[in-house]
Amino acid sequence: MEILERYGKPDVFAYNALISGFCKANQIENANKVLGRMKSRGFSPDVVTYNIMIGTFCSRGKLDLALDVFEELLKDDCKPTVITYTILIEATILEGGIDEAMKLLDEMLSRGLEPDTFTYNAIIRGMCKERVVNRAFDLVKSLNSRGCKPDVITYNILLRALLNQGKWNEGEKLMDEMIAGGCKPNVVTHSILIGNLCRDGKIEEAVNLLKAMKEKGLRPDAYCYDPLIAAFCREGKLDLAIKFLDYMISDGCLPDIVNYNTIMAGLCKTGNADHAFEVFEKLDEVGCPPNVSSYNTMFSALWSSGDRYRALGMILEMLNQGIDADEITYNSLISCLCRDGMVDEAIGLLIDMEKGRFLPNVVSYNIILLGLCKVLRVSDAIEVLAVMVGKGCRPNETTYTLLIEGIGFSGLRAEAMVLANSLHSMNAISEDSFKRLNKTFPLLGVYKDLSYSDAKE
């Protein structure tokens, strides 16, 4: 910045470029310094300046700071644009929900700004995410009267929402409406259809659709191939999955890391960890450096095969490569430690997780509870449950079922029976879970006099 000011004549555009560069490098403090320097030299930030800052905070989940910048924008008599509001609306949907986002839309309209397709698509996506799909459809129907027309992205959002709910008939009608309106399905449309067909076990139909899209002149991308590769892996047809990967390459579509991770996970699940490791070692060579998911897959597989040294080496290599651990990494480590009876070490890792940027979730706590119950440390499990609740992590049905089983298997059978009855009466455990418990514990002399019909009463 000093060099720019000493040897050049920086303008607002130059300062904006500096601010943008610092923001992209995650150097927010330096970006703020440039903003302050810009003002001190008599340059008024423009809407682009503020949009950069607002977008940076929103992309990092700091909506409150973004709104502070927005207030500063207004105080400086700088007029927000459609882009300003669209950025805020997208972030508000994630943090405050669709109703809060709609308030911003109303505010935007009151300022005489006309939302564009990007704005409406953000709102439609938010509605679908919150499963108010009918509300999303109502908004789409009103777009023409709002001076906006749905595009292929709009239809793809709606199609994904319908098919996620298994509503194929409605999805077909939407496709007809889309085509009739002059909007051609694109590669993303087909990847949505292929993914949902594979999810529903209709692999042959998915393969035929892939062929059909190529006949239409559309070039499938990695997102089109991955559901098919994953489907073959799920069915244990790894030879077909690998052949499909080769076909993908021969067709001119380079696999991405998601495709390779799918193959490695499939190999590991079928006990072929060594083959998976061979694939892993060639990732850099094929231009797909491993990511955190790659390392998580190999760590779990190697640990499960008894090779702890190589498994821990995977984690160290990952960290040395500058790849941060994620929640799955922590949960995998905690699970492996508990599985091998090292529950205290697992609890220590849970504490380390709390100190870091990842808060333990219900899965993390459930793994610890299972580990404690397996070694009959029920009182410690109950204490962990209390800590879990105290930290605002809500137990789920698995949590309660693990605790009931742990109490029962530790010999406190009467207490387990009372707890099961109590939780079932509060609908904390389902009827199916209660039935399963009712069948399990009689083998241990538990619930001898208890029938499911009695418990319901």
**pLDDT per residue over 93-109, tens digit each?**
988 899 999 999 999 99
Residue 203 resides in a domain: no
pLDDT the model gives residue 25:
83
Phi/psi at 304 (nearest 5 deg)? -65, -30
Tokens for 74?
């207004």
In the structure, what pLDDT confidence band is assigned to residue 442 with cuts at 50, 70 and 90? low
Domain membership of residue 162 (yes or no) is no
Q: Which residues contact 242 (CB under 8 A, 6 or more apart)?
A: 263
Does the residue 417 lie in any domain?
A: yes
Residue 340 in any domain: the answer is no
**Which range, 17-21, 23-27, 46-50, has the best average confidence (pLDDT)?**
46-50
How do residues 350-384 score in pLDDT, each as one tens digit? 888 877 667 888 999 999 998 988 888 888 988 98
In the chain, % of residues over pLDDT 90: 42
Give how many domains the chain has, as a whole number. 1
- Residue 407 included in any domain: yes
Q: Is residue 402 part of a domain?
A: yes
Q: Which residues contact 68 (CB under 8 A, 6 or more apart)?
A: none
Q: Is residue 419 part of a domain?
A: yes
User: Phi and psi (nearest 5°) for 224?
Assistant: -75, -40
The position carrying tokens 């027309």 is: 149
- Domain range for 455: 396-457
pTM: 0.74
Is the pLDDT at 2 greater than 70? The verdict is: no
Q: Is residue 449 part of a domain?
A: yes
CB atoms within 10 A of CB 205: 14
> Which residues, other chains included, contact 203 with Cβ-Cβ below 8 Å and sequence gap of 6+?
197, 228, 231, 232, 235
Q: What would the mean pLDDT of 51-63 be, rounded to a whole number?
A: 91
Give me the DSSP letters along 243-285.
HHHHHHHHTT----HHHHHHHHHHHHHTT-HHHHHHHHHTTTT
